[in-house]
A and B are shown apart, each in its own frame.
Chain A
Amino acid sequence: MKMAKLPEEVIEALEIDAKKCMLATVNEDGSLNLVPVGSMKAIGDEKLAYACCFDGKTTRNLKEGRKKVAVAIWKPRLEGFQVKGTFQEMYDSGELFEEFSSRVNPMMETMGLDCKVQSVAVIRVTEVYALTIPIAGERMA
């Protein structure tokens, strides 16, 4: 399987609270599903992970075997990165699940939302690109 390493600046961007991420997956009919994902973080330098709090289209697309994803990462105020990857695994127990649950569930409660982490999805990184003007599109890894 093709793999790539996340550059240091992308890992740093993912650690910033004010960053925003959007995850694109592929629907059954070939159209794109694109949703904000607040909990996205790097796991080492070859994987991303995020908490699945809804059994929605994104989770269904991955579980049904359409595993190619793209993640747009916005770092305030004017930087951006795109990580392309392949869905690897969904965890509904274990260390990673507990870590995300302890971080995300209290945030959901604070926002008054009646939902909890159902699983944690892990994505293997395959390509990384800059999205910052004027170097948007340049491959970083």
Chain B
Amino acid sequence: MVEMPEEVVAALSDPEALKVVATINSAGVPNAAIVATVYPLDPKTIIFADLRLGKTKENLLQTKKFTVNVLRQNLESYQIRCTFGHFEERGDITDMIAERVFERTRLQARGVVYGVVEEVYSTSLSSSGTRLV
């Protein structure tokens, strides 16, 4: 478990940033989905809503790994590798996220995915591949 640098937390908190979650199944096939609800719960924890996760959720249960990339409008970009923690269907955080999601999309979140941050890299063009933590 590591702590994300401030600039990475800021990028993940940016509602205008593009956020993609990649997972992998047990046969080694990657999956990449746009997940606008990715959010840094704290510097060590990433959460996102289960709206229509489908394959992402299946893969998390199979292999317990996921990677997030966040790309801001100024092209600042970070890759955050995580270990899947757990799904939460009920709770204060889940209720808060579900409320936010419903306000924006009119869709009901089925729960929240928790991930533990393991590695963080810059994927901005000027420093792509540099490990930050």
Contact = CB atoms under 8 A, between A and B. Distances in A.
A30 B71 contact: no
B129 A32 contact: no
Contact of A32 (B55, B66, B125): B66
A97 B66 CA distance: 32
Nearest to A56: B129
Say which size band chain A's interface belongs to.
20 to 34
Interface stretch (A8-16, A43-51, A129-137): A129-137
B24 A34 contact: no
B28 A36 contact: no
A33 B126 contact: no
Nearest to B29: A68
A109 B63 CA distance: 41
A68 B55 contact: no
A35 to B, nearest CB: 5
A32 B71 contact: no
A54 B67 contact: no
Contact of A36 (B29, B33, B123): B123
Interface of B: 18, 20, 22-24, 28-34, 51-52, 54-55, 63, 65-69, 71, 75, 77, 79, 81, 105, 107, 123, 125-126, 128-129
30 contacts: A22-B18, A22-B69, A22-B71, A24-B20, A24-B30, A30-B63, A31-B81, A32-B65, A32-B66, A34-B32, A34-B67, A35-B69, A35-B123, A36-B71, A36-B123, A57-B129, A66-B28, A68-B29, A68-B30, A72-B33, A74-B18, A74-B34, A82-B32, A82-B33, A108-B125, A131-B34, A136-B51, A136-B52, A137-B52, A137-B55
